[in-house]
């Protein structure tokens, strides 16, 4: 792979005064505060445990820590906005104090939760819903009716992800067939809306596993480089997901090797951010892919 094929353009994100350099790929570490996430749900039951895990991920080379308090696994419980904030805020506040130089993103589809998190030290909004219209994602009282407007008013980077349905419904009645064009149109429409509002720091995530068949996930992986046409940083989140396990006959706890293989392929196709459970291995993948392009 020639060096000028992927990793040459200067890319930076302004994360509340901290400049995040994406001219070479970086790793986002997952910090789940949920009891029911598909891999590590219920692991962090105390703030001290979260601090310990966050410290390890940062020491292993994570550039971003992604904190989520609402499980988005298929069929996950739809908790209230109040419960999401109750889970999130005590941890976020302590983590920001403990790691003042770290960049934290908040994984939420609710504008109220996102706003509160940014006010308490988060710097990036990671929104799985991507909805441009006033439309609740769930039956709870929270929705992202004003998420795009909120992002514009706060001036923070925004991760726009593709999803079909909701976490509760996305893997039901899946439609077979090609999906790349659908995802491209989805991004085009929403980018137009965001740009009209003055939002420019946008990261695109095709949403591996969110309302897609195994074949569609691999189509998006094969065609991942096509998303470079939008001239935005690209995020890939395949860590320990079913697109690995259903092919190899493994379970999430045995899917680290498969994750590394797919992360390597995605880096070669232009991924700027790898969202992972295992930071050290992802950082090593980045280093090796970069070295192979010299």
Question: Known catalytic residue: 232?
Answer: no
The CA-based diameter of the chain, rounded to the nearest angstrom, is 51
Q: Which ranges in 239-294 belong to alpha helices (H)?
A: 242-248, 256-268, 279-292
Give the residue from 220, 218, 228 showing the smallest Cα distance to 248.
218
Distance of CA 83 to the CA centre of its chain: 21
Distance of CA 62 to the CA centre of its chain: 13
- Residue 28 sits at φ, ψ, to 5 deg, of -105, 120
Q: How many angstroms separate the CA atoms of 68 and 278, rounded?
A: 16
Of the residues 241, 246, 251, 269, only one is catalytic, namely 241
Contact 47, 29 (CB under 8 A): no
Q: How many angstroms separate the CA atoms of 198 and 56, rounded?
A: 36
Of the residues 115, 190, 212, 275, only one is catalytic, namely 275
Return the CA Rg of the chain: 18
Question: Known catalytic residue: 275?
Answer: yes
Active site amino acids: 241, 275
């Amino acid at each position: 792979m020639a060096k000028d094929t992927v990793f040459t353009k200067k890319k930076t994100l302004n994360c509340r005064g901290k400049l995040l350099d994406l001219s070479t790929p970086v790793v986002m570490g997952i910090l789940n505060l949920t009891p029911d996430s598909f891999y590590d749900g219920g692991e962090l039951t105390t703030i001290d445990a979260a601090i310990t895990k966050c410290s390890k991920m940062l020491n292993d080379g994570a550039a971003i820590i992604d904190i989520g308090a609402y499980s988005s696994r298929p069929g996950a419980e739809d908790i209230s906005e109040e419960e999401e904030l109750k889970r999130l805020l005590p941890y976020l506040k302590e983590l920001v104090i403990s790691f003042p130089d770290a960049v934290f993103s908040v994984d939420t589809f609710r504008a109220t939760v996102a706003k509160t998190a940014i006010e308490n030290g988060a710097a990036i909004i990671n929104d799985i819903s991507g909805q441009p219209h006033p439309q609740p994602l769930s039956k709870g009282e929270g929705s992202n009716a004003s998420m795009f407007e909120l992002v514009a008013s706060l001036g923070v980077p925004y991760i726009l992800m593709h999803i079909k349905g909701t976490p509760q419904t996305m893997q039901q009645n899946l439609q077979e067939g090609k999906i790349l064009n659908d995802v491209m149109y989805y991004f085009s429409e929403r980018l137009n809306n965001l740009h009209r509002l003055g939002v420019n720091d946008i990261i695109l995530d095709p949403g591996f596993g969110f309302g897609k068949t195994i074949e569609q996930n691999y189509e998006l992986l094969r065609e991942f480089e096509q998303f470079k046409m939008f001239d935005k940083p690209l995020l890939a989140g395949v860590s320990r997901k079913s697109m690995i396990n259903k092919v190899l006959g493994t379970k999430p706890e045995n899917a680290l090797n498969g994750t590394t293989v797919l992360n390597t392929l995605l880096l070669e196709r232009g991924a700027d951010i790898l969202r992972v459970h295992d930071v050290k291995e992802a950082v090593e993948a980045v280093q090796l892919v970069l070295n192979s392009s010299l």
